[in-house]
Amino acid sequence: MGKIPRSLRSAIPSTSFIKKAPSIPTEIPNPQQQQQPHYFPKKPSKRNSQLSKKPQETQTPQPHRSPFKTPSLNEAKKLFNSFISTTKSLQMDGLRLHNSFLKSYTSISTLDDSISLLNHMIKSLPSLSPDRSTYHVLLSQSCKEPDSSLSSAQKVLNLMVNNGFEPNQVTVDVAVRSLCSVGKVEDAVLLVKEFSSKHSKPDTFTYNFLVKCLCKSRILNNVYSFIDEMKNSFDINPDLVTYTILIDNVCNAKNIREADRLVGVLKECGLKPDAFVYNTIMKGYCMLNKGIEAVRIYKQMKEEGVEPDLVTYNTLIFGLSKCGRVIEAKKFLKVMVESGQFPDAVTYTSLMNGMCREGDVLGAMALLGEMELEGCSPNSCTYNTLLHGFCKGRMLNKGIELYELMKKGGMQLEAASYATFVRALCREGRVAEAYEVFDYAVESKSLTDVAAYTTLESTLKWLKKAREQGLAVYCWWEISTRFHWPTKKHQTEYKPLMATNGGFGETRRAMAA
Amino acid sequence: MLTQKMKKAITDNPKKLANLIDLVNLPSTLRDFVGQSQISRLGCFKFVWSYIKTNKLQDPNNKNVVNCDEKLKSILLGKQQVELVELPALIKLHFPKQQK
């Protein structure tokens, strides 16, 4: 269903109008009084059209019932006639209202019908003269048409030019965003190139938006060639934001070397990297478990005189905790506070995660108290981390306490903490409680039914097997819980050892060595 | 992160997921119990579990054990008592692997 635009909605507060309007125009309950305050004279609406970059966002922020029930053109025409016949006495020629009206119809109908409706609107209301944003409404819709070519967009653009509106930067932006929203990035690129050669160049926002979309859908070399082409043919240079997008993209692909190269290119272009660039690179290192490198970047940042922000410290603490350098992470928490930043839930949760990894759950719990003293309220992620920590650290009762607290607060469970919790419960023979946790996970929509059930089923299967076979499997469990977060090494080296020797003691001795 | 993992799990093993959520034509005993002619394994599990809860069939002394009533007995191999641990396995018996 379509949406009723805000302007139209505020003009018609009575729902009965929306219900009955398509059929009988005489039943409209005296709209004159309500419409008076929402009268938009032409002047402000023109200014509005120039300012509004994205008409679809400024006009329809919330889904609402559309006055249109069917995409039928005749019904729409009838509705429009009824609309103007009741508002004529007021000379309601507010353009924004009519644009909204058109938009509601466009969203549920085809482009051709929408153009016909516009023609009908102009014909039956001579005082109405469509402006640029009217055509943008049509353009936005035409870009979302399912056919693969740009022909419908071309049609609207021609219509626009014929009516005396040369496409400008806003037009490009509307078209690009509409195309990208339905995944037609290739078409967007074509359109931008065409626009740049014929009408107007895209502004930096449009350009960067497009680069971001390209990064998601294309391989890196294609993105580079696009940037080069824009630079050489149309003299549009990438700016700092473009480089940040690129660096973020290569970091997400774990290609740190490329990120370093990009920083070099960026400096060659005469741009100075800011905190965002550094944060992005730091994030890249943290994802690769290279906390030390992140510290190096931090120092580099300080040398270059870039002030680290909250995100910088959060990334650092996260990275250091992740690779097991909790002590350093704690140090940075102090540095952070000294430099005047306020640590937030993310900071504390990262640190708690690090402490739990080391098996220091009680320390993490103490940190929770500290956090609340500082006036920072924990979020569901914090609780999940702690729950995970308790279950790994064999403090199931504490874990259950925490779980009850979470349940009371209606917090969602994360996949990892759910799985650990269920396993811990089953290990203690509290299967019924594990079932209840399953119920809660499904009920609170923390996980999908399938994910929750698969975990439960495999855990129960394991438990059954463990009971049948006795010690051997149980030992493996013992090891994997005692040494928190079993590493690849544990799995590859010690599991076979245990299978062959069959002994827990033997394996433990090997691990201790 | 989770969704990526899920996606990976699904793409890695589409069959495993399929036999969990695909609707299956039920044998007559199960049909009488569920009241539908088709259900997925996951749906069946949830149905049985909610049946146990609504009829309060869990043993009051040991919650991990279910004392079956006549209806439940008919679908769970005629056992008088069933442990919650083996419930998924027992239900799985009604959903044999499909031969292709």
The number of folded domains in chain A is 3
pLDDT for residue A265 is more than 60:
yes
- Tell me the pLDDT tens digit for each residue of A87-118: 654 444 567 777 777 888 887 777 878 888 88
Return the pLDDT at A160. 84
Inter-chain touch B45–A453, beta carbons under 8 Å: yes
Q: Which residue of B has its CA nearest to A449?
A: B42
Same structural domain, A389 and A434? no
Q: Which of B5, B45, B85 sits opposite A431 (nearest CB)?
A: B85
The predicted pLDDT at position A75 comes to: 75
**Domain-located, residue A367:** yes
Predicted local confidence at residue A20, as pLDDT: 35
List pLDDT tens digits, range A8-19: 333 333 333 333
Residue at which a domain ends, from A166, A191, A207: A166
Structure confidence at residue A148 as a pLDDT band (50, 70, 90): low
Return all residues near A155 (Cβ < 8 A) that are at least 6 apart. Answer: A111, A142
In a domain, A333, yes or no: no
Q: Which residues of B touch A432 (CB under 8 A)?
A: 58, 63-64, 84
| Residues B64, A430: C-beta atoms closer than 8 Å | yes
pLDDT tens-digit map of A201-228 = 888 898 899 888 888 888 888 888 888 8
Could you tell me the residue range of the domain that residue A101 belongs to?
94-166
Residue A160 located in a structural domain: yes
pLDDT digits (tens, 9 = 90+) for A468-510: 776 555 555 555 555 444 455 555 555 555 544 444 455 555 5
Is the residue at A68 inside a domain? no
Q: A28-37, A350-359, B88-97 — which one is most confidently predicted on average?
A: A350-359
* Inter-chain CB proximity B6 and A451 less than 8 Å: yes
| Bridging pattern class, strands B81-83 and B38-39 | unpaired
Of A357, A382, A411, the domain-final residue: A411
- Do the interacting molecules here have an ipTM over 0.90? no
- A431 and A376 in one domain? no
- Closest-CA distance, A63 to chain B, in angstroms, reads 27
- Residues A92 and A465: their CA atoms lie apart, in Å, by 77
Residues A390 and A472 in one domain: no
Confidence of residue A50 (pLDDT cuts 50, 70, 90): very low
Quick one: tokens of B19? 């036999």
CATH number for the domain spanning A370: value is: 1.25.40.10
- Average pLDDT in chain A: 75
Residue A57 is predicted with a pLDDT of 38
A361 and A418: one domain? no
Residues of B with Cβ-Cβ distance to A414 under 8 angstroms: 2
Indicate if A459 and A368 belong to the same structural domain.
no
CA atoms of A446 and A438, how far apart (whole Å): 10
User: What whole-number distance in Å separates Cα of residue A225 and Cα of residue A334?
Assistant: 45
**Percent of chain A whose predicted confidence (pLDDT) is above 90:** 1
Query: What stretch of H or E contains B18?
Result: helix B14-21
Q: Are strands B24-25 and B38-39 parallel, antiparallel or unpaired?
A: antiparallel
Least CB–CB distance from A463: residue in B20, B42, B85? B85
Q: State both tokens at A424.
A: 């811990």
pTM above 0.80, yes or no: no
Residue A183 has what pLDDT? 81
Tell which wins on pLDDT, A54 or A317. Answer: A317
Which residue among B2, B46, B85 sits closest to A460, beta carbon to beta carbon? B85
Q: Which residues of B touch A457 (CB under 8 A)?
A: 88
pLDDT reported for residue A89: 46
Q: What are the CA-CA distances from residue A240 to residues A97, A221, A244, A257, A275 (Å)?
A: 39, 19, 6, 19, 11
Residues A422 and A498 in one domain: yes
Name which of A432, A450, A463 is nearest B42 (Cβ-Cβ). Answer: A450
> Is A398 in the same domain as A453?
no
Confidence of residue A512 (pLDDT cuts 50, 70, 90): low
Residue A139's φ and ψ, nearest 5 degrees, are: -60, -45
Mean pLDDT of A229-250: 87
Judge whether residue B59 has pLDDT over 70: yes
In a domain, A305, yes or no: no
**What is the pLDDT, as a whole number, of residue A16?**
34
| Last-in-domain residue among A392, A411, A430 | A411
Closest approach of A398 to chain B, Cα-based (Å): 21
- Note whether A507 and A497 are within 8 A (CB): yes
Helix (H, G, I), strand (E, B) or coil at B81: strand
Please answer yes or no on whether A448 and B6 come within 8 Å at the CB atom: yes
- Convert the pLDDT of each residue in A171-184 to its tens digit: 888 888 888 888 88
pLDDT the model gives residue B25: 79
Shared domain check, A508 and A458: yes
Q: Does the distance separating the beta carbons of A449 and B88 come in below 8 Å?
A: no
